Amino acid sequence: MPANLPPQYYELERTFKAERDPREKLRLAQELLAMMPKHKGTDKLQAEMKAKISKLKKQLDSGQRKGGGPSRTEQPDHIEKEGAGQVVFIGPPNSGKSSLLDTLTNAKPVVADYPFATREPQAGMMPYETISIQLIDTPPISPDLFETYLLGIIRNADLVCMICGVGDSGCEGGVRFVFDKLAERRVILVPKIPERKDIEDAGLAYKKTILVAHKIYDEQGVERAQRLAEMYPGFTIVKTSILDDDSMEQFKREIYRGLDIIRVYTKAIGHDPDYTDPIILKPNATVEDAALTLHKDFARKLQYAKIWGAGKFDGQRVNKGYVLTDGDVIEFHI
């Protein structure tokens, strides 16, 4: 039986064969396996790819490069998600990523006025209303430095913030380099994720991105922010300064909007709502989706729910398929 592999498979396979970084090679191998049609014609091909994946994992676990090189400490290409969403800060050197993380979270990154002060990723939790959002500061991306493990972190994140230090006269070129470098490695920064049917190459990772014109009050900051808007039409652009609390609050709001999530609060029968630990869902999620986040058996036994929220009468009785909105309070009945 023929394998009937899609054209995108062969293009990704060429990239896989040419790749030398073991972490990126592992990711590409996993994508190739996922792309293979699952039938008898690909049984041998699947087995071979699984063997390659296993070998790459062992190589990474042992800290050895192919060819028996010395062991080394690997940088993490995966940071466990916490909170309502994971947001990664990327950008050229001296763009202000670390100062933003320091201002918005409880983390204490190295903040310096010289390039390449950040040598490894650092995470912190940003409080926003009734939730917390995980922010990750990363080493800069430039012609002089590109840590390939960042590809895994960027791919795993729910939202990318491209930090543009508009106080720097070369910021536009630095941002363009980051866009191009990531595209070269098959990570495409976009203002909105395209529909699945519109994606021709399944090996590309499209990441929703907002542009942050940071240090906006520096000389020519506003003019450079305007040029960025002209260079990247369609992208949300947030103007920020750590000296301006209002701009920081606006940045928080744009991060929340960019995550494209809703918060649903639970209420035990006969008790007040619990506003401390909302259920995080995607827009157009249903009562059943909310129940599934608690437990699949709970969702199976659910008979109906009562809803409180904007535009609803208090305690409105709804079924499993009812579509929830941000801020709804839900009372489950089984």
For residue range 68-127, list pLDDT tens digits in order.
444 344 456 678 899 999 999 999 998 999 999 999 998 776 555 545 555 689 999 999
Q: Tokens 């535009």, residue?
A: 311
**Model pLDDT for residues 139-159, shown as the tens digit of each residue:** 999 998 898 889 989 999 999
DSSP state of 198: G
CATH architecture of 262-333: Roll (3.10)
Query: What contacts 24+ positions apart, CB below 8 Å, involve 232-238?
Result: 232/191, 234/191, 234/192, 235/191, 235/209, 235/210, 235/211, 236/191, 236/210, 236/211, 237/210, 237/211, 237/212, 237/213, 238/210, 238/211, 238/212, 238/213
Compute how many other C-beta atoms are within 10 angstroms of the C-beta atom of residue 188: 17
Average pLDDT over residues 250-265: 97
Instruction: Single out the residue of 283, 272, 279, 328 nearest to residue 305, CA to CA.
Output: 328
What is the length of the chain?
334
Contact 292, 278 (CB under 8 A): no
Bridge-partner residues for 305, per DSSP? 318, 332
Domain spanning 86-259: CATH superfamily: P-loop containing nucleotide triphosphate hydrolases (3.40.50.300)
Q: How do residues 123-144 score in pLDDT, each as one tens digit?
A: 999 999 999 999 999 999 999 8
Total-model pTM: 0.78
What are the extents of the domains in the chain? Answer: 7-62, 86-259, 262-333
